[in-house]
């Protein structure tokens, strides 16, 4: 018990040291510099630290459960719910909400409690990779808060969840404690169905239960920068060919056509009756939506397959759309048409441009 408390104290001190204002004093290494601490506290009193959270919930079919989860988020009047994106085939709902750091923490705790109660992963089926009822819970800096501070916040949330729920918690992205867990696909490998065996083979969580929770599964939490979830539709049901195209563009692949900061895979979406190349773009300044769209379009032609527009899941920064407009030399409405963003789902500038939601 004493060793566990000592280790927890060391982790907290390491977290605090990540904040620039809390660097240890050169003259007295046993204490944190009082002046810089006071300066930091004064700054935080005058400026609100705004954080975005984008939890991916493993429920996309039962509307009554989705409504209860939504109600849990909106119950906190200091939180603003920006977007809800539900996929039936994926059996998954992505909520996007923002608020002050402390309020985000409170809401996330309540979110985990309601999902723990409502969702039974033993009955879950969906095309999207997942390991638990809340598959992943990203923490994203928006205003007056650094990525280092979001790392600390994510670990505070994980430690708080330990008190209430017996679930395995893995830290990823910027919050990764183990380097091999930095990428989400690495943690998800094997998915829910094989995760118990994976844990028993030595893949232990950073926080929470060391035993797999069959009802809830496991979860991933971490701080990251803004990411665009972007899918390209193919006029085809050929999943094997779609997988080849996804492998050619993903950053981790070996193809000449691979794109930087791009995660990609392929799946068949029953509700759209076609295959999709689904991507996560981690740096839209380097690899933007138009880059991926044009690359997939070119590669699909090699297999005599046409694209059928594309889809934004959740929100997109205005700058990303502007970059696409600049590339095509078109206005926003024309660019949306060019990318086919209304082909399978209606794209709303008012509802899906991040800056328009503030």
65 and 210 inside one domain: yes
Non-local CB neighbours of 246 within 8 Å, separated by 6+ positions: 264, 265, 266, 277, 278
Tell me: do 180 and 275 sit in the same domain: no
**Final residue of a domain: which of 170, 192, 223?**
223
> Which active-site residues does the annotation give?
128
Q: Is beta strand 219-223 parallel, antiparallel or unpaired with respect to 168-171? A: parallel
**What phi and psi, each to the nearest 5 degrees, are found at residue 357?**
-90, -10
Do 132 and 150 sit in the same domain of this protein? yes
Considering the domain architecture, whether residues 41 and 124 belong to the same structural domain is answered as: no
The pairing of beta strand 219-223 with beta strand 134-143:
parallel
**Do 301 and 262 fall within a single domain?**
yes
Greatest Cα pair distance, the chain, in angstroms, is: 69
CATH number of the domain that 293 lies in?
3.30.70.670
Q: Print the domain residue range for 186.
A: 50-223
Name 91's Cβ contacts closer than 8 Å, sequence gap at least 6: 58, 59, 60, 61, 124, 125, 126, 127, 128
Pair 85, 181: CB distance under 8 Å = no
Residues 343 and 239 in one domain: yes
Please give the tally of structural domains in the chain. Answer: 3
Shared domain check, 145 and 59: yes
Are 195 and 272 within one domain?
no
Same domain, 127 and 55: yes
CATH of the domain at 119: 3.30.990.10
pLDDT in tens, the chain (358 residues): 445 445 555 555 555 555 544 444 445 544 555 555 555 555 555 688 999 999 999 999 999 999 999 999 999 999 999 999 998 989 999 999 999 999 999 999 999 999 999 999 999 999 899 999 999 999 999 889 999 999 999 999 999 999 999 999 999 999 999 999 999 999 999 999 999 999 999 999 999 999 999 999 999 999 998 899 999 999 999 999 999 999 999 998 888 889 999 999 999 998 889 999 999 999 999 999 999 999 999 999 999 999 999 999 988 989 999 999 999 999 999 999 999 999 988 998 988 988 877 6
Q: Is 31 exposed, middle or buried (0-12, 13-18, 19+ CB in 10 A)?
A: exposed
What span, in angstroms and rounded, lies between the C-alpha atoms of 52 and 95?
10
Q: Same domain for 257 and 187? A: no
pTM tops 0.85? no
Same domain, 38 and 57: no
Residues 253 and 331 in one domain: yes
What CA–CA distance (Å, rounded) separates 334 from 332?
5
For residues 230 and 8, what is the distance between their CA atoms, to the nearest angstrom?
39
């Amino acid at each position: 018990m004493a060793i566990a408390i000592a280790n927890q104290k060391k982790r907290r001190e390491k977290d605090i040291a990540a904040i620039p204002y809390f660097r240890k004093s050169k003259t007295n290494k046993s204490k944190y510099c009082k002046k810089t601490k006071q300066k930091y506290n004064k700054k935080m009193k005058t400026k609100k630290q705004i954080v975005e959270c984008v939890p991916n919930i493993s429920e996309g079919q039962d509307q009554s459960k989705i409504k209860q989860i939504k109600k849990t988020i909106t119950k906190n009047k200091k939180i603003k719910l920006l977007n809800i994106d539900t996929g039936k085939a994926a059996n998954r709902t992505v909520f996007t909400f923002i608020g002050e750091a402390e309020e985000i923490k409170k809401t996330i705790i309540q979110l985990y409690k309601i999902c723990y109660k409502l969702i039974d992963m033993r009955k879950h089926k969906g095309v999207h990779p997942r390991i638990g009822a809340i598959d992943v819970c990203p923490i994203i800096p928006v205003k007056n808060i650094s990525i280092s501070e979001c790392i600390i916040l994510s670990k505070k949330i994980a430690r708080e969840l330990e008190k209430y729920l017996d679930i395995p918690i893995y830290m990823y992205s910027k919050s990764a404690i183990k380097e091999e867990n930095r990428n989400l696909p690495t943690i998800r490998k094997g998915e829910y169905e094989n995760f118990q065996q994976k844990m028993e083979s030595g893949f232990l969580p950073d926080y929470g239960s060391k035993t797999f929770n069959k009802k809830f599964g496991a979860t991933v939490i971490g701080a990251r920068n803004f990411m665009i979830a972007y899918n390209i539709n193919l006029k085809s049901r050929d999943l094997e060919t779609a997988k080849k195209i996804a492998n050619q563009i993903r950053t981790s692949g070996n193809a000449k056509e691979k794109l930087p900061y791009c995660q990609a895979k392929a799946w068949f979406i029953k509700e759209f009756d076609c295959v999709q190349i689904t991507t996560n773009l981690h740096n839209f300044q380097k690899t933007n939506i138009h880059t991926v769209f044009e690359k997939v379009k070119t590669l699909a032609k090699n297999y005599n397959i046409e694209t059928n527009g594309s889809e934004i899941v959740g929100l997109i920064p205005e700058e990303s759309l502007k970059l696409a407009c600049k590339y095509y030399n078109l206005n926003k409405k024309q660019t949306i048409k060019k990318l086919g963003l209304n082909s399978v789902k209606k794209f709303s500038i008012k509802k899906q441009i991040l800056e328009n939601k503030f």
